[in-house]
C-alpha cells in the first residue's frame, strides 16, 4: 500500500532501541586501548608513569595485543550499560517529541539522561567490574593475575570465589558515573546539535554530528572523571576498600589531583568514543532507522 504525503507531512527516521548498544560497541573496538591505559593510570597508587610511558610499558612487557586485554568484557559492557541508557533515553525522547510536536526542553533532557544513565550504569556494573580487572591484569605480577579467559569466565569466577554481591561492587559509583556521562553525552549532544542546526549555517550532516559529539564528549569527561577514578579503584580491589566512603577518603589522601588522575587519557578515550558512537548512531538511524511520518 502506498502512502501519499501531504505538504504538511514529512518522513523522519528515528533510532531503534538497540542502535545505541551497537554504535557504542563499534566505537569501543577502536578506543579500547585508550580505555585500558586510562584504567592503568587510575589504579596507580602514586603517579609513576604518564600516558605514553604506560602505553610503551604495556607493549614492551606484554606485546601489542595486550592493549586489547578485556575487549570481550568491554563489548559486553557496551551491550548492557550503553544499550540500556540509549534505549531508555531515545525511546522516551522520541515519544515526547512526537507528543509535544517539538524537542524537549534542556532541563528535561538532563533529567532523562541522568535517569537513563543511572539505570544503565547499574545494569552494566558486573561486566564493568570484569572489564576493569581484565584490563588491569597485564600490569600485575604473574602470581597475582586473575587470568580470566573471557568476560563470562570472569563473571562466573567472581560469583564462585567472591560471591554474587561482589559483582555489584562499586554499583553506586558506576550508576552515578553513568548518570553524569549520559547527561554529558546524550543531553548535551542533543542540545548542541539543535543549537548548531538553529543557526541555519549547517544541515543535519556528519560535520554537525562531529561538532555536537565533540562538545558532548568534553562535557561528559569533565563531569564524570572524579567518580570514574573512585569506581575504577573500587572495582579493581578485593579487600582494599571497605566502602565507597573509605575509597573516597583514601583517594583524597593522595591530594585533590588524584580525583582527576588520568584526565588526559580519559578525554582522549571518551571524546573519540563519543564522536564515533554518535556518528555510527546517526548513520544507522539514517539508513536503518524506524520510519515515522510527522
Rounded average pLDDT over 135-161: 87
Q: What CATH architecture applies to the domain 11-293? A: Alpha/alpha barrel (1.50)
Q: What is the pTM of this model?
A: 0.82
More confident residue, 80 or 269: 80
HSE of 67 in the Cβ direction (CA atoms, 13 Å)?
18
Q: What's residue 8's pLDDT?
A: 47
Rounded average pLDDT over 267-289: 93
List the end-to-end C-alpha distance of the chain, in Å, as a whole number. 18
What is the average pLDDT value for the chain, to the nearest integer?
86
More confident residue, 39 or 88: 88
Q: For 83, list phi and psi in degrees, rounded to 5.
A: -60, -45
Q: How far is CA 251 from the centre of its chain?
A: 22
pLDDT tens, residue by residue, 179-235: 999 999 999 999 999 999 999 999 999 999 999 999 999 999 988 888 778 777 776
Domain boundaries, the chain: 11-293
Amino acid at each position: 500500500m502506498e502512502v501519499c504525503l501531504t505538504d504538511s507531512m514529512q518522513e523522519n527516521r528515528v533510532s531503534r532501541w538497540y542502535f545505541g548498544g551497537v554504535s557504542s560497541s563499534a566505537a569501543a573496538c577502536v578506543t579500547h586501548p585508550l580505555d585500558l591505559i586510562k584504567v592503568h593510570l587510575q589504579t596507580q597508587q602514586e603517579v609513576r608513569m604518564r600516558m605514553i610511558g604506560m602505553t610503551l610499558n604495556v607493549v614492551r612487557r606484554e606485546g601489542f595485543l595486550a592493549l586489547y586485554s578485556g575487549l570481550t568484557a568491554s563489548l559486553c559492557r557496551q551491550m548492557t550499560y550503553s544499550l540500556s541508557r540509549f534505549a531508555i533515553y531515545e525511546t522516551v525522547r522520541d515519544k515526547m517529541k512526537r507528543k509535544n510536536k517539538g524537542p524537549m526542553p534542556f532541563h528535561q533532557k538532563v533529567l532523562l539522561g541522568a535517569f537513563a544513565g543511572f539505570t544503565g550504569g547499574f545494569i552494566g556494573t558486573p561486566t564493568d567490574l570484569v572489564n576493569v580487572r581484565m584490563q588491569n591484569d597485564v600490569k600485575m605480577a604473574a602470581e597475582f593475575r586473575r587470568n580470566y579467559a573471557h568476560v563470562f569466565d570472569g563473571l562466573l569466577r567472581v560469583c564462585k570465589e567472591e560471591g554474587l554481591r561482589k559483582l555489584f561492587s562499586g554499583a553506586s559509583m558506576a550508576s552515578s558515573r553513568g548518570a553524569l556521562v549520559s547527561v554529558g553525552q546524550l543531553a548535551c549532544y542533543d542540545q548542541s546539535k539543535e543549537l548548531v542546526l538553529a543557526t541555519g549555517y549547517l544541515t543535519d550532516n556528519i560535520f554537525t554530528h562531529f561538532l555536537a559529539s565533540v562538545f558532548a564528549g568534553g562535557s561528559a569527561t569533565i563531569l564524570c572523571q572524579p567518580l570514574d577514578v573512585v569506581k575504577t579503584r573500587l572495582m579493581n580491589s578485593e579487600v582494599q576498600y571497605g566502602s565507597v566512603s573509605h575509597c573516597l577518603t583514601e583517594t583524597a589522601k593522595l591530594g585533590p589531583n588524584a580525583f582527576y588522575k588520568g584526565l588526559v587519557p580519559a578525554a582522549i578515550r571518551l571524546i573519540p568514543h563519543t564522536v564515533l558512537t554518535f556518528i555510527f548512531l546517526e548513520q544507522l538511524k539514517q539508513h536503518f532507522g524506524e520510519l515515522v511520518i510527522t
